[in-house]
Structure 1
Amino acid sequence: MRAFLAAAIVAVPLFAAHPALADTPSGALTLSRSVDGRGHTVATLFCDPDGGTHTSPKPACDLLREIKGDLGRLVSNPDVICTKEYLPHRVTAFGTWEGRPVRYTRTFGNRCEMTAVTGAVFNF
């Protein structure tokens, strides 16, 4: 019991001395979007705490938290109706979510279809 108590007393200051550990985001992603194969728009997204260069990190992170960072689990919002316009939007995401690697690539027929599936994640 004394050994446990001694170890606990020594460990507490070690954790307190490293507050950066608590600030490590649960998600750190680099997101890109290209329209019709021309140019790329790139943003970073950090979750918990929410931030990065993404213009709406909170709604994007809220969606990612719902799906536990697995972009493959994204489904189309049934309340969104899109036109048949064809202007392909290719999106990619890579980084980490809770220590797991994230890799996602998908091409949507247009911006509406992209937003119906990915919500705020690629709207930056």
Structure 2
Amino acid sequence: MDLFLSLKEKLDISDDDFKEISKNLLSVKETINNEKIEFGEQFEIGFYSHMISLFMRLKNNEKIDEVDMKVLDEIDEKVLEIAKKIVAPFFDKYKTKQNLSEIILVATHIQIAFNMRGGEENVR
């Protein structure tokens, strides 16, 4: 079963919400592929689950608690830029102010993927 459909079922997403979310996810997947980011199967599930939650928060104008900025010490600048590239269109789409904590959370997933592939030399 397609990963996105599987997540729709597991996260109990309505058909109407899923129409919009699936378009968003395809856009994210295109950027992920263009940036040559490779997630292991479980990490891919976690990443796209997080993206769905992000879209729902943006749609409902919900805010998250601020992330401790010390975590930025563990995230490569290039990874942070990729995360911004992924999420910035959705801040615009949902007419929401960019939120650094949301960007950092996405960057964390990407950083882990790069680290699992051998670290900094895999950050393009």
- TM-score tier (shorter): 0.3 to 0.5
TM-score computed with the length of structure 1 as normaliser: 0.33
TM-score computed with the length of structure 2 as normaliser: 0.33
State which structure, 1 or 2, has the greater radius of gyration over its C-alpha atoms.
1
Q: Comparing both chains, which one has the higher relative contact order based on Cα–Cα distances under 8 Å and sequence gaps of 6 or more?
A: 2
